[in-house]
Structures are given as C-alpha cells and as structure tokens.
Amino acid sequence: MSLAGFVKANLEQIIHEWEQFAAKISDTPLPRWMLRDHALTVVKFIAERMEASTPPVEQRLAAAAEGESSSVRYVTSAHVKVRIESGFDLAQIVAEYCALRACVMRLWQESDPNCFMSGTAAMDISRFTEVVDEYVTAAVADYKEREAQYRDRFLGMLGHDLRNPINVVMMTAAGLAKLGLNEKQLESVSRILNSARQLETMASDILDFARGRLGSPMPIKMDALDLRVVVREVVDRVQAVNPGCLIEFESSGDLIGHWDAERLQQMVSNLLINAIQHGTGKNVQVMVKSDESIVLLQVHNQGPAISEDLIATMFDPLVRGSTASGETTGLGLGLFIVNEIVSAHKGTIAVTSSEEAGTTFVVRLPRNAS
C-alpha cells in the first residue's frame, strides 16, 4: 500500500494520536473538538496532495512562505486561527506537524515492517515530507501574519487610549502653573508638562505606526500656510524644553504652500529632537528656503557620524540609533514617522553624515502636494 493510501485508510488512528499530542503540549485543558479542530481536514488534504500533480517543491514552498491563496493556505489558516485562540504559540503549532510526520511514519512501519523496502517507498516518503513542509511553511506564514495584526491592533488601541490621560495631565499641569506657584514649584510643573508632551509624541508615533501597518494611509489635511511660521513655532517650543541646546533658525524666500500644518509640526519636532539627542546637544541649525516649485527644510547638527549601515535603515520602523553618550532612546519610530509624513506630502528626505561636517537632514516638499 502506498503511503498516501495508508494515510487515507488510517485517518481515525492518526487523528487520535494528533489529538493526544495536542493535549500533551497544551498549557491548559482543552475540549476534544478544539484538540481535533481541523486535524481531519489537514491530514486528508496532505494525502490528496501527495497523489496530485503539483508544481516543483521549491515553488510551492515559496508560495506558502509568501502567504499566497491556495487550498493549503485555506486549511492551515483555519487550524492556526483556532490554535492561537487556544493559547498555542508558533513552536507548539510547528511541533504538531512534526509529530504528525513522525506518527505517520511509525504507524506505516508498524503495519508493514517491509514497507520501506518497496520500490516506491523513497518516493512516497520524499513526497510526504515535501507536503508536510509545505503545510508547516504556510502555518508559520499565517501565524506571523495574524500575530502582526494582533500586535498592530494593540498598538493602535494603546496609542489612542493613552491620549486621554495624557491630555488630563497636561491640562492639570497647565492649570497648576497659573496658581501663583513659587519658582521651585513651577520648575516641577514644567517637568510634568515636558514629560507629558514627550508621552503625547510617543502616543502619536505609535498610533501612526499602527495605522500604517494596518494598511490605512496617513490622514492629511491640506491648507494654505506659511512654512516659516510653522517651523518657527516648533523651534520655539523645542527650544523652551531644551534650554541647554541653542537652536538657530534661518529662513528665506517664498515659503507659502499647501500642506498639513499639524503633520509638518510633527515632522520638524521629530527631526529637532533627533538632532539634539544624537548630536552634541549644544547646537542645532534649522534652515528653510524655497525656489519656484519646492521648499527645502534643512536640520543640521554636529556630533558622531552615522554609519552607512544605519543610514540605510534609519527610516525603517523600530530602528534606534545611539546618542552621543552611547545610549539608545525612544521607540525607534521618530524618523519612520518623518518619512511617512514626507511621503504623504509627495516630498523626499535625504541624510548626509560625517565626523567633519556633522549630520544634515534635507526635506524637499512640493508647494502643492495635493
């Protein structure tokens, strides 16, 4: 009997052993239907796929890894969904398929001690292994996709729900500052406000990151505005909370255009904070100028040069560089959000860095990104 025929003829015994193994590795007792869930369908599909004409194994594995729609993806997706809801992790799901493979080979040999001696045994085993590997690959891809969805959903809720208590803290601190406090008390209130603003920025970055990962475009509201005024406001605000660093601002030319004022403030703020944290912390230069079609924003700081490897990935999410003192700061989302804002405005951003010249970020924005 072929291996595929043996699997079809012994489905109940194979599923029973699958159920026992799933119960053994489960962290909590599960009802029988949940232990078996889609096991019968998975095993039947494996046997049928062994007998079917399919593309080369490399092509099938690549398709499974990329999460392409197929009967394999459909079956494994249903199984992975139930397993995640049952508290299984990725290692436990993969272990189920490994145990299935070992179980089938053992039962086949027990039914016929000479089964490995047949002329088609090597081909049957090879085919069975390929199909199980295809299912494992599809299961891993589906698990990672679901995990990313859950994580991004959580980050989105976290970023949204953090804003309310942060706003309460900021409003309360601002109210306290108007009560005629002494110098020491005002200093304490100022620290509370500064910390709350940092939390607000982090919450906004988390929300934007989660929105982008979930496939939603960054919301942009275009209005006519003067970039000089926008940047000046941000420079003054950042300067106020970083008195030890001198921020020099220079502007020239016609800086009127159609952009999202709030998003540009977020972009400039992130660039300035990045320059202060990763430069010497003593001096930052900001310049805005224009020509007929675009405006240019430049943020420059002295300090350690950025390595070429980091430059290649610094606009990716969750990439954190070191400060001048060697410490890592933030969530690694600031420059990612900057890049998203620039892209939403149909602009470009570039960075150059060397020990001698320092580090310069250059943003180019069209006057009318709509």
Nearest to 332 by CA among 262, 265, 278, 260: 278
pLDDT per residue as tens digits for the range 61-79:
888 788 777 778 888 888 8
Residue 246's SS3 state is strand
Residue 194, pLDDT score: 78
Query: Which one has a higher pLDDT value, 217 or 91?
Result: 91
* Residue 319: pLDDT band with limits 50, 70, 90: low
Would the pLDDT of 126 be above 70?
Answer: yes
Q: Compute the average pLDDT of residues 299-327.
A: 76
Exposed (0-12), middle (13-18) or buried (19+): which is 298, by Cβ within 10 Å?
middle
Would the pLDDT of 325 be above 60?
Answer: no
Residue 169, pLDDT score: 87
* Residue 14: pLDDT band with limits 50, 70, 90: very high
Domain spans of the chain?
1-216, 223-366
Instruction: Give kind and range of the element (H or E) at residue 299.
Output: strand 294-301
Q: 1-216 with 223-366: one CATH topology? A: no
What mean pLDDT, rounded, does the chain reach? 85
pLDDT per residue as tens digits for the range 146-190:
887 777 777 767 767 777 788 888 888 888 888 888 888 888 888
Span of 86-90, 110-114, 136-140, 209-213 with lowest mean pLDDT: 209-213
Q: Compute the average pLDDT of residues 40-63.
A: 85
Residue 212, pLDDT score: 66
Residue 9, pLDDT score: 92
What's the rounded Cα separation, in Å, for the pair 345 and 116?
65
Q: Which fold has domain 223-366?
A: Heat Shock Protein 90 (3.30.565)
Q: What is the pTM of this model?
A: 0.54
* Residue 348: pLDDT band with limits 50, 70, 90: very high
Residue 120, pLDDT score: 85
Would the pLDDT of 295 be above 90?
Answer: yes
Q: Compute the average pLDDT of residues 29-48.
A: 81
Could you tell me which CATH number the domain at 1-216 has?
Answer: 1.10.490.70
What's the rounded Cα separation, in Å, for the pair 139 and 204?
33
